[in-house]
Structure 1
């Protein structure tokens, strides 16, 4: 039992230490001011 607990804690620690950052998450204000051609609300086709 102690060996499996030690292995489980070891894998958890290694996952936590090796996390890959995904970059800064933009705020809602930044998202609202960002030009996005896909969200064009002009439906005059």
Structure 2
């Protein structure tokens, strides 16, 4: 498998996790955004 294809899959997987985050650990950016809102 080429590195470019692997990178593409990782990007798509991250995108899906952001759209569908339930049951998954949130990224630090999302956690800090929520923390700043409160």
Band of TM-score, shorter chain: 0.3 to 0.5
Higher RCO, Cα 8 Å, sep 6+? 2
- Structure with the higher fraction of residues in helix conformation: 2
So what's the TM-score if we normalise by structure 1?
A: 0.41
